[in-house]
Each structure stands twice: as structure tokens, then as C-alpha cells.
Amino acid sequence: MKNVKDFDKKEAIFQAMLELISKHGFHSSPMSEVAKQADVAAGTIYHYFKSKDELICALYVRLKEKYIENLFLTDDQNKPFKERFRHFYLQMIIEAQKNPKEFYFLEQFSNSPFISTIPKAEITRLDQPVYDFLRKAVFTQILRDIPPKILVAFVMGSANAIIKLQLSGEFQMTSSDLELAFFTCWDGIKKI
């Protein structure tokens, strides 16, 4: 019972903070509002987290972990790499579309001074799956011989920009547009 309740409250707090920050930003998301939205007392938050900053950082790690994990959930290692990459690329876009709040939070966080409070090792750990995924393909000469860090930045950076375009509602993306986006990335990174 206790564990269930614990889980529920912590979860509710995370969810509330996510909702508020994705909509209003870090400031304009007061703890009192988080408490209200999570249906707990303000003081209760401090039983689970030392401070607001710690809560935000914990939320980041949690969401990032989940996001990356989801990208590989349906990865079929038996398929040819190009197909796996296509799946991966489109999965990023689909995942963000299904969870815009999570996406906005992550982008906001990683473009703010908050990001520098996360130890480099932790960030490396979080990115590891993507890193490994692409590095292996460089190694097996499927992908261009680019330093993996650049490769990861290129792939995810371009994908994120496209996601933002789509989420902004400024541009209605069709499935053939998505296919085009995939090819644009693929033709850039594949070994010639």
C-alpha cells in the first residue's frame, strides 16, 4: 500500500511539473501550482525531492531515459540497417507527436542552463543507446565515417527541428513528407 501510494504521489508530482513546464516554462511553474495539480500538499513534494531544481533534473533524466528507450522498443535487429534506421528516425517523430509535453520539456531543458547541471557522464549514459546504434553502423561501413558524436548530433538535431516544425502546427506534414525527411537524413549519413 505504502509503495503504491509513494509511487502514485511521486508520479503525480512528476506529471504535474511536466504539464506546467511544458506549457509555461520553468518560471511560471510555481511549486504551489505543481502541488495543486498533483493533488498533494506543497510540503509533500519536499519529501520526494530536495528542491525544485532537483525535481526538474530528476524529471529530465526520467523522461530522456524513457524517450530513448521507446525509440528502440520496436527495433528489429534482424532487419537491414537502413530499414532499422528508417524505423528509428520515424519513431523519433512519432514518439514526439504522441508525447508533445515530454518533447517540449526535454528541448526546453537541454537548451537551458539546467543542462549543465547534469553530469556529463549521466548525459553520455542517456545517449548511449543511440550512440551505440549509430557507431556500430559506422564500424560496419554502412554509414559514413563521421565521429559518432557528430553523427548523433546531426541525426537528432535534424529530427528535432522537423518535430518542432510539425508540433508548431505551422506545417502539416504528410507521411510522404516524413519519408522525404528520412531520405534526406539517410542520404547524408550513408556510406557512398
Asked if 162 interacts with a copy of itself (CB under 8 A), we say yes
Q: Which three cell numbers stand for residue 142?
A: 554502412
Cβ at position 54, least distance to a copy of itself in Å: 16
Asked if 25 interacts with DNA (CB under 7 A), we say no
- Region of residue 164 (left: phi > 0; alpha: psi -120 to 50; beta: else): alpha
Cα 91 from Cα 51, distance rounded (Å): 34
Cβ at position 38, least distance to DNA in Å: 9
CA atoms within 13 A on the CB side of 67: 28
**CA nearest neighbour of 72 among 131, 129, 125, 153:** 129
Identified binder of DNA from the candidate list 21, 40, 134, 151, rule CB under 7 A: 40
Cα 31 from Cα 41, distance rounded (Å): 10
Cβ at position 11, least distance to a copy of itself in Å: 24
Identified binder of DNA from the candidate list 11, 53, 83, 132, rule CB under 7 A: 53
Nearer to DNA, 52 or 101 (CB): 52
Cβ at position 101, least distance to DNA in Å: 18
Nearer to a copy of itself, 76 or 166 (CB): 166
